[in-house]
């Protein structure tokens, strides 16, 4: 039984924004994989829903003229994973969202909803962080674009205003070209599980494949929000692909995180995961980039 007061289905982005302006407490719903669960649990009982499901403006994945990849906020996880542009240019994102929930959830859950939920455990979040994703928000005031690392404020909190709608996610060409990455999700089981820790690592190697030109490292559930590890990224530039580099990479990652204990895992266990997953994700990213870690 779902206890909600009203359900309003809109046909365009402008209609959705207008409806949000008129209803201060209304909640946006697309796939419903998060919102309907909260309603059933009584957390949002009696709410009003504004459905943006299947608005054409929010669908599609396109390659823009400047090489930017544009992903509509209402694209489902399944659609993202199986899109040819994603597979060719940013396979790390497709692999990451393919680990969300189970097949049924991935058919209805949307990448925009995953972001706007504000959860540090979101499988899309840490990967979008290392891709330097730009979020396009629209309201009556107009359209503005913000980096994803400025979007999260705390657990379940984002800077999105009530009357704003996330319309698309953009990944500039300079942030994915010759950039190879890997996402690792650790959970108690392999499917239908919220991440105990998520780690995304990406690299751009030197032409001879022996040094790191750029590395990016991001975590989910290692802090109140998804985080990028800026200090370790700066330290790693120019380093040779040696075994001791990988070991130091894992240890330095510990300096930039602040996980907490919860019923899923203790802080101490998450710290072990932070170090180990950093090394594993780095090694796999280097392999995808055509490099090899020397003993």
CATH number for the domain harbouring residue 147: 3.30.465.10
> Do 67 and 155 have their domain in common?
yes
Residues 6 or more apart whose CB falls under 8 angstroms from that of 220 comprise: 120, 121, 122, 123, 125, 126, 195, 197, 198, 199, 226
Give the number of domains in the chain: 3
Q: What is the pLDDT of residues 36-71, one digit of tens each?
A: 777 777 777 777 889 999 899 999 999 999 999 999
Q: Are residues 81 and 155 in the same domain?
A: yes
Cβ-contact 89, 69 below 8 angstroms? yes
pLDDT at res. 295: 62
| 244 in any annotated domain | yes
Side-chain half-sphere CA neighbours of 89 within 13 A: 22
Q: What pLDDT sits at residue 191? A: 67
Note whether residue 43 is domain-resident. yes
Of the residues 174, 208, 238, the one at which a domain ends: 174
Distances (CA, A) of 74 to 163, 166, 168, 207, 291: 17, 9, 8, 38, 36
Could you report the per-residue pLDDT of 240-270, keeping only the tens digit for each? 999 999 999 999 999 999 999 988 899 999 9
Contact (Cβ atoms closer than 8 angstroms) between residue 294 and residue 211: no
CATH number at residue 187: 3.30.390.50
Q: Which residues form the domain of 85?
A: 57-174
User: Is residue 295 in some structural domain?
Assistant: no
Please check whether residues 201 and 259 belong to one and the same domain: yes
Q: Residue 258: inside a domain, yes or no?
A: yes
Q: Is residue 294 part of a domain?
A: no
Instruction: Quote the CA–CA distance of 187 and 200 in Å, as a whole number.
Output: 15
Same-domain status, 62 and 166: yes
For the chain, what percent of residues have pLDDT higher than 70? 98
Q: Can you point out the beta strands (E) in the chain?
A: 4-9, 27-29, 47-51, 61-63, 69-72, 134-139, 142-147, 152-154, 157-158, 165-171, 180-186, 197-205, 212-220, 227-228
């Amino acid at each position: 039984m779902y206890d909600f007061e009203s359900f309003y289905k809109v046909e365009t982005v402008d209609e959705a924004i207008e409806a949000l302006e008129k209803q201060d407490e209304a909640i946006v719903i697309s796939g419903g994989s998060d919102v309907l669960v909260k309603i059933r649990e009584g957390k949002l009982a009696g709410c009003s829903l504004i459905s943006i499901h299947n608005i054409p403006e929010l669908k599609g994945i396109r390659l823009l003229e400047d090489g930017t990849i544009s992903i509509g906020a209402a694209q489902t996880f399944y659609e993202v994973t199986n899109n040819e542009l994603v597979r060719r240019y940013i396979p790390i994102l497709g692999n990451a969202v393919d680990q969300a929930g189970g097949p049924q959830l991935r058919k209805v859950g949307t990448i925009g909803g995953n972001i706007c939920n504000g959860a540090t455990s979101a499988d899309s979040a840490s990967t979008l962080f290392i891709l330097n994703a730009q979020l396009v928000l629209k309201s009556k005031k107009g359209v503005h674009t913000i980096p994803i690392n400025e979007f999260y404020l705390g657990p379940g909190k984002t800077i999105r205003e009530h009357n704003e709608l996330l319309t698309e996610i953009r990944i500039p060409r300079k942030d994915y070209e010759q950039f190879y990455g890997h996402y690792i999700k650790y959970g108690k089981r392999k499917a239908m599980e919220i991440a105990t820790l998520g780690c995304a690592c990406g690299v751009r190697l030197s032409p001879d494949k022996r040094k790191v030109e750029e590395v990016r490292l991001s975590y989910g559930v290692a802090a109140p929000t998804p985080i990028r590890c800026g200090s370790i990224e700066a330290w790693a530039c120019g380093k040779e692909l040696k075994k001791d580099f990988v070991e130091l990479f894992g240890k330095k990652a510990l300096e930039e995180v602040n996980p907490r204990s919860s019923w899923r895992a203790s802080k101490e266990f998450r710290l072990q995961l932070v170090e180990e997953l950093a090394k594993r994700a780095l090694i796999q990213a280097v392999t995808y980039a055509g490099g090899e870690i020397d003993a």
